[in-house]
Amino acid sequence: MVEGKRFLDLYAGSGAVGIEAISRGAAHAVMVENDKLALRALHGNLKSLAIAREVTVLERDVTNALHELQSLSRFDVIFLDPPWKEGKAYQQTLEKISPGLLVEAQSMVIAEHEKHFDPGDNVGQLKRVRVHKQGDAVLSFYRMAE
């Protein structure tokens, strides 16, 4: 699903998801994180795996990063996993993605959230096309609405 794709990992934390995308053949990954401890782990992981050239790390909050990225690139896959206690972050982030400035018609947006929270079937121009439950976590898959 990610081979040769441009991958955006929002709220990247330690970088595990973006690193997994690179290991599965993503062409490039952009990781956005602003927490100092998470950034230390992320940079350490990239260094230990010697994949820093395949990754761009943006050390800022997601809102500022999305604004900056809108004029630079579109992504094939966007993954977001904000802190689960910040339900508003899902809505705000998905709404900023939805205008189509970061995604193309075939792009996939994946939101990981807890099973007791539902970000919604439709957010802006994004329409949920699939749900995958795994324990307490749920992955909601979105595409641009037609």
Q: Is the dihedral of CA 34, 80, 125, 54 positive or negative?
A: positive
CA distance linking residue 105 with residue 75, whole number of Å: 11
Q: Is 132 left (phi over 0), alpha (psi -120 to 50) or beta?
A: beta
pLDDT single digits (tens) 39-85: 999 999 999 999 988 999 999 999 999 999 987 789 999 999 998 77
Output the CATH code of domain 6-144.
3.40.50.150
Work out the pLDDT band at 14, boundaries 50, 70, 90. very high
Q: Is the dihedral of CA 44, 47, 48, 52 positive or negative?
A: positive
pLDDT single digits (tens) 78-130: 999 998 777 788 888 998 887 778 998 899 999 999 999 999 999 888 999 99
**Neighbour tally for 7: CB within 10 Å:** 24
pLDDT on residue 12: 97
Name beta bridge partners: 29. 7, 55
Nearest CA among 55, 43, 72, 70 for reference residue 9: 55
State which amino acid sits at residue 119.
P
pLDDT on residue 86: 72
Q: Is the dihedral of CA 52, 65, 87, 130 positive or negative?
A: negative
pLDDT on residue 11: 96
Decide: pTM greater than 0.85: yes
Q: Where are the domains of the chain?
A: 6-144
pLDDT on residue 56: 95
CA distance linking residue 12 with residue 67, whole number of Å: 17
